[in-house]
């Protein structure tokens, strides 16, 4: 039986939603799902090499006043960073991370080398649409 497929459109560049995506990704990996992640708009900023796992450079999605408390709570609970969640999932199951070409350019990333080593390629939005149509589960975060 072929593994189920998760397609994740990662629009966000906020530390709280990236962490949530990492938790979801971990669950999909534990369930041995095939995962395609399409990094869109603000998400591409978070994947830049100069930002990546540096939570100091990432905003909160909703209430900026909660940012420090959120980060401290994650630290106290010894919760992995979003990048660690993503790396762990890639080690467990078939996870491909695609950077949207336009989104990359918006944030100054024109080639794969401009992004953290989690990124597998740069593609157009039609790749996301095709993947979403074929997926068993499609999420937009």
Q: Where are the domains of the chain?
A: 5-140
Residue 130: predicted pLDDT: 98
The residue to which tokens 């397609």 are assigned: 7
Q: What is the pLDDT of residues 78-120, one digit of tens each?
A: 999 999 999 999 999 999 999 999 999 999 999 999 999 999 9
HSE toward the beta carbon, residue 86, CA cutoff 13 A: 24
- List, in sequence order, every residue forming a beta bridge with 139; answer none if it has no partner: 8
Which tokens hold the place of 55? 């939570």
Looking at the chain, how many residues does it have? 141
In the numeric block, which tokens belong to residue 29?
């990996």
pLDDT value at position 67? 86
Residue identified by tokens 């649409």 is: 129
CATH topology for the 5-140 domain: Hypothetical Protein Ychn; Chain: A, (3.40.1260)
Give the mean pLDDT of 11-39. Answer: 96
């Amino acid at each position: 039986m072929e593994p189920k497929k998760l397609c994740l459109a990662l629009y966000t560049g906020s530390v709280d939603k990236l962490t949530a995506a990492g938790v979801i990704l971990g669950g999909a990996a534990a369930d041995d799902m095939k995962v395609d992640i399409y990094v869109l708009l603000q998400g591409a900023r978070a994947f830049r090499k100069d930002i990546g796992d540096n939570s100091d450079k990432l905003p909160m999605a909703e209430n900026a006043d909660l940012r420090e408390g959120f980060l401290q709570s994650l630290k106290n609970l010894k919760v992995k960073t979003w990048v660690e969640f993503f790396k762990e999932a890639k080690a467990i199951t078939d996870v491909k991370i695609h950077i949207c070409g336009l989104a990359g350019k918006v944030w100054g990333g024109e080639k794969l080398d401009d992004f953290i080593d989690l990124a597998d390629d740069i593609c157009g939005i039609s790749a996301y649409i095709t993947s979403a149509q074929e997926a068993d589960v499609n999420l937009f975060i």
